[in-house]
Amino acid sequence: MISTLIVIGLIILAFWAVARFYLSGEDVSRFDGGGAAAIGSGADGQREPSSEHHEAVALLANMGQQSAGSGNRLQQMRDGMDAMGEAADLSGITLKPVSVDGVPGEWVLAENADPSRRLLYLHGGAWTAGSPKSHRPITTKYARMAGVSVLAIDYRLVPENKRIDCLTDCQTAYRWILENSPDGPGALDVLFVSGDSAGGNLTLAVIAWARDAGLRAADGAIALSPATDAAFASPSLISNIATDHMLGPMFGRITKLPKSVVAWFGWLSNRMHPCDPRISPLRGNLADLPPTLVHASEAEMLLDDARRYVNKATAAGSEATLETWHHMLHVWHIFEPSLPEAQEAFDHIHRFMQLVENGSKTARAPASTG
């Protein structure tokens, strides 16, 4: 009996030691805090969310109840996300299916689309769901707002594939869009990369990879509510469970587990070290990256993922900006145009894109000889 207890104790100790000294990685809490006040903050406190935001919260709750009794919740989630995308307004939009070196995708083109100005969009969905169809509310907004040719790809999903396969497909798309327009091979003038949640993670991972691979850098990157740390170390993963109406019900139980258990979960579910920069952009080298805009809600679980990333990137000398909103759902942008706060967020994104593009044109202009 005593020997059995000793063995069990040693196993528990080994389990904890691996999590503590191998899986946890460096302490990144020094990048907590700071940053500008949330959008809508004022002397009289926080601005209350719109009635449309409350309607979006109710819609999510209803979708969760409908899928609760489903025998295949993953497929139900995938179908539900695509159904939301089908409601996107496609007036004046052309959807052009394309094979991106074997990765399925679609060009999303407004009437004023410029084939030399391109945006690669990487959808969210916890790496397990989502598609170009599900995120048409966002990609059509980008197309109309900025006149860019938007390429959305259908990268491989887990659990059918490995987590790293998601990034590999995004890398393929990045290489491809440098040389290809909606009309075929063509010169590239301006490139943006954007994504939300899991796609925000992939956006931040792919711009770092492009730097290391010696490829042409994107002119700018936009990450919406990104996950940046697969080690699940951010404080808001716990503190914001109750206020995150989307991620709280899905992942709150996991993040409440002991840290050693969460670390093992991250390792086993991703099938690679949770602090590998390819899945945890926060853990990598954040110097010499393109200008990056990050949006997050003060109420969401990934708030500190976003804050830590921007603080570390800024400390490394990269141009990175965090803008936050009070109360909002995770990736509230997808409820554009019905949600006023989503329209406001896109106004900020458009301003960022214009500033970046104007700056890039100035940098590329030949020096005066007069």
pLDDT at 369 > cutoff 50: no
Tell me, what's the pLDDT at 73?
86
**52 or 46, higher pLDDT:** 52
Under 8 Å between Cβ of 201 and 128? no
For residue range 143-168, list pLDDT tens digits in order.
999 999 999 999 999 999 999 999 99
Q: Where are the chain's structural domains?
A: 81-361
pLDDT of residue 41: 77
Per-chain mean pLDDT for the chain:
89
Contact indicator for 338, 332 with CB cutoff of 8 Å: no
Q: Are 115 and 143 contacting, i.e. CB atoms less than 8 angstroms apart?
A: no
CB 33 within 8 A of CB 304: no
For residue 69, the model assigns a pLDDT of 53
CA 320 to chain CA centroid, nearest Å: 15
pLDDT for position 234: 93
Report which of 48, 34, 47 is spatially closest to residue 322, judged by C-alpha positions. 34
- Verify cis geometry, omega within 30 degrees of 0, for the bond prior to 337: yes
Q: At residue 21, does pLDDT exceed 50?
A: no
38 close to 324: Cβ distance less than 8 angstroms: yes
Band (266; pLDDT cuts 50, 70, 90): low
Contact criterion met (CB below 8 Å) for 309 and 283: no
Q: How many CB atoms lie within 10 A of CB 334?
A: 26
Which of the 8 DSSP states describes residue 290? P
- The residue-averaged pLDDT of 109-117 equals 96
Domain 81-361 has CATH 3.30.465.10: no
* Predicted confidence band of residue 259 (pLDDT cuts 50, 70, 90): low
Tell me which DSSP letter residue 20 carries.
Answer: I
Q: What is the DSSP string of 34-50?
A: --PPPBTEETTEEPPPP
> What single-letter amino acid sits at 19?
A
Residue 365, pLDDT > 90, answer no
pLDDT at 17: 55
**Confidence band for 26, pLDDT divided at 50, 70 and 90:** confident
CB 218: neighbour CB atoms within 10 A? 29
Q: What is the pTM of this model?
A: 0.91
